[in-house]
Amino acid sequence: MDLVYVSERKLYGRLGLRPPTVQKGLQASLKVPPLIEVSGSRSWEGAAEPIASHALVEKAQRIIERRFTPVPFTTENLQVNQWVSFDLDMAQVAVHEDSGAPPEDVALFVGQVPAGTAGQPRDLGLILCGSVQHLRTRVCAHGRMGSDTTWLHDLILEVERREESGLNVIPEFLNDLMPHRRSEALIEDAAFGVHGWIQRKYPPSTRGRLQGHAIVLMDIDRPRLVHRLVVATPLYVRAVHESAPQGRRRILPRIRRGTRTP
């Protein structure tokens, strides 16, 4: 497995891990078809933080499992700040604010679990959002985030800014983070809009299997909506290499023994 995205701010802030003292200038890369090219060095300008090693991320994974007891993202009634795990095929996109211009500053990972899988009564979408400063990829789709998504774009960067300044708890009501408040329905509609256009534009054949841990921002489950949507901010995202036939690919989160997915 190869690291696609790692938030050092979460490693050092939320988990209390110390940055590595020695950094190696590894430049080799490994392509993971079709969208992802994993690299040992950052591909975005302005990165000031040290690059977390695989060993450090594996240590973080053990801490999360022991201290926070993460649940699969398919679990019902997720709460803000709750740790979740994910393991499914996802599209990867780097975007900029709708009315702005490149360079892209937000990284998005989008996937979906069909109804009937793991007991899900409806389709379940997942959208992971963070800063491109944490990406380890050189090949990535890019463009505008979409109409009426400025609030969501700014929210993603505000969560990143808070973590950079040492504020590692996300308020229960996301409106508390932003100076220009919007109704809960409009916030959720923006998230659904972003998830929807990425789902349509990047079909399953263009995706790669990704897994990792993330922290919940929103669990949108209004009965009138076509599907449920979980919005989260990732700690790390890893590309998974597998040789199994396409029909046998696993799209469910890893479930530990003794854990039952609702």
**According to the model, what pLDDT value does residue 141 have?**
74
Q: How many CB atoms lie within 10 A of CB 257?
A: 4
Angle at which helix 184-201 crosses helix 150-164, to 10 degrees, equals: 100
DSSP 93-135: EEEE-TTS-SSP-EEEEEEEE-TTGGG-SS-EEEEEEEEGGGB
For all residues of the chain together, what is the average pLDDT? 79
Q: If residue 210 lies in a helix (H) or strand (E), which one and from where to where?
A: strand 208-220
Which of 70-84, 142-156, 230-244: highest mean pLDDT? 70-84
Mean pLDDT, rounded, for 61-75 = 95
pLDDT of residue 172: 81
* 146 within 8 A of 194, measured Cβ to Cβ: yes
Q: Is the pLDDT of residue 250 over 60?
A: no
Percent of the chain surpassing pLDDT 90: 42
Residue 163 tokens read as 């973590």
pLDDT of 10 higher than 70: yes
Question: pLDDT at position 188, please?
Answer: 86
For strands 124-131 and 228-239, give the pairing: parallel
Higher-confidence residue of 121 and 6: namely 6
Rounded mean pLDDT, 74-97: 94
Q: Would you state the pLDDT for residue 138?
A: 63
Lowest-pLDDT range of 71-80, 156-165, 230-239: 156-165
> Measured in whole angstroms, how far is the alpha carbon of residue 260 from the centre of its chain?
23
